[in-house]
Amino acid sequence: MIPPGILDDIHQDPFLAYMHPQVIQFDCYLDWISRMTINIKGIRYNPDIPGDLMPVDEDIGYITRWSKKYDNRILEKLYNWKYHYLENPDQVPRFTMMVTYTGAHASPRSPGKKGLRHMAYLAKFHEAHRKGRNLIRKYIDPRINLSVLEGHPESGYVHSHDLYFLDFMPSQHDQDTIMHHWTDTLGMGSQERGIQLGIREPRDFKEIQSLIAYPMAYLGKSSIGDLTEWTKYDAVFNTCLWLSPKHPLKGGIGHQVRAFQPSRALSSIMAHRTEERGYIHIETTMRDMMTSSEPAILYRCPDYKQNIQNYDNLVGEETL
């Protein structure tokens, strides 16, 4: 899946070569999920019309953080966010705050510079980022916020762009506290390079709309559909995300690191609006399209025998 040229570049790069085995494992994983398909069986019914039943049999791809469909889902969520403010103009925030977090680490530009390697740095950054966001909740309490992680284009090390929608201007004291906490308390680098904090007062909805669109710029080069646009640093960064939930003894940090992190309030706004119809989920299976092996059963409903019989009857009626 990952272009061979990128794998060769990583193997030959003195700064990245130690990550080559892990990137190969990640590449095998991408190849595996590209072959997987998920089958869903169920019955959709209209609660208001007795007897209005329809069998559901759908094959969908194995969707992960690196699937093209994932980007499409994120785009849909961003549109829902945009339309929320169009429908509720009174909720458009008075201020926006963007915080960019990064830190000190090893660099290919300075081979002699000491610093943490990618996974060790990811573990440190993940914990510091969690504490930094918690501090902002303590001092500012923004309900609507979004954090997007990105790999540095010249090293693959993680950094984040955090967007906050606010109803009041944070005091200078609070802003200084946020910055000093990151650089001094958490030891993530200097204020010149470790953190950037900017506050704007949007003039109109168009400015809010442009802010809502910004996450796609960071997420665009992280799906299987965009592999041809990846650099060797993109491959290393995404390998780190893939490894993150694994146990440290297996190369991870023991915590799943998500590149797209909306707050609960924002998640509710972004939630997909669906038509209110009943649905009985009967079974979910997974199979490898490149083999003839039996599908693996991922889920079966409690009354499976009765529901699958009803499903088969509906399918038989449709074929008559």
pLDDT band (50, 70, 90) for residue 263:
very high
pLDDT of residue 72: 80
CA atoms of 160 and 147, how far apart (whole Å): 7
Q: Is the pLDDT of residue 189 over 60?
A: yes
Q: Is the pLDDT of residue 131 over 80?
A: yes
Greatest mean pLDDT range, 18-27, 66-75, 101-110:
18-27
Token look-up 């038989």 returns 316
Neighbour count for residue 135 (Cβ, 10 Å):
17
pLDDT of residue 4: 92
Instruction: Give the residue-averaged pLDDT of 171-192.
Output: 92
pLDDT of residue 205: 64
Digit-coded pLDDT (tens) for 205-243: 666 777 676 666 666 555 655 777 889 999 999 999 999
Tell me the DSSP string of 66-125: TSHHHHHHHHHHHHHHHHHHHH-GGGS-SEEEEEEE-----BTTBTT-----HHHHHHHH
CA atoms of 101 and 190, how far apart (whole Å): 11
Q: Phi/psi zone of residue 251: left (φ > 0), alpha (ψ -120 to 50 degrees), beta? A: left
The strands making up 296-300's β-sheet, listed across from edge to edge, are: 53-61, 36-45, 278-288, 296-300
129 vs 142, residue with greater confidence = 129
Q: Are 54 and 44 in contact (CB under 8 A)?
A: yes
Question: What whole-number percentage of the chain has pLDDT above 90?
Answer: 53
Whose CA is closest to 27, among 226, 235, 221, 219? 235
Is 68-270 assigned to CATH 3.30.70.1910? yes
pLDDT band (50, 70, 90) for residue 188:
very high
Listed range (53-57, 139-143, 153-157, 171-175) with the worst mean pLDDT: 139-143
For the chain, the structural domain boundaries read: 4-62+274-319, 68-270
Question: What whole-number percentage of the chain has pLDDT above 70?
Answer: 89
35 contacts: CB under 8 Å, gap ≥ 6: 288, 289, 290
